[in-house]
Amino acid sequence: MISISRTGFIHGCFTAFAVALVGRAAYVQLLHGAEWRAKARRLHESGTPVQAPRGMILDATGSLLVESREQVRLEV
């Protein structure tokens, strides 16, 4: 019968976890990479206009200092 020390067992568990993690990353990148890139592009490049409902900014005498734009374009 083969006797495995505690450190050998822990080392084996870490190695198995690392192999599983690398295998899963390779699976996602190689087999589903195009799908994930398309989804990321769709989420990243959104052309939705954002309304800016703000009022006018006046000074103490009531003179107009700044007025709002109709909409703001925000790109991330």
What is the mean predicted confidence (pLDDT) over 60-69? 84
Residue-level pLDDT at 42: 84
pTM: 0.47
Burial level of 31, CB count in 10 A (0-12/13-18/19+)? Answer: exposed
Contact 66, 56 (CB under 8 A): yes
**Domain locations in the chain as residue ranges:** 6-72
What is the mean predicted confidence (pLDDT) over 64-68? 83
| pLDDT tens digits for range 5-51 | 989 999 999 999 999 999 999 999 999 999 989 988 888 776 777 66
The Cα–Cα gap between 4 and 52 comes to 67
Give residue 68's pLDDT band: very low, low, confident or very high (50, 70, 90): confident
Residues 6+ apart with CB under 8 A from 35: none
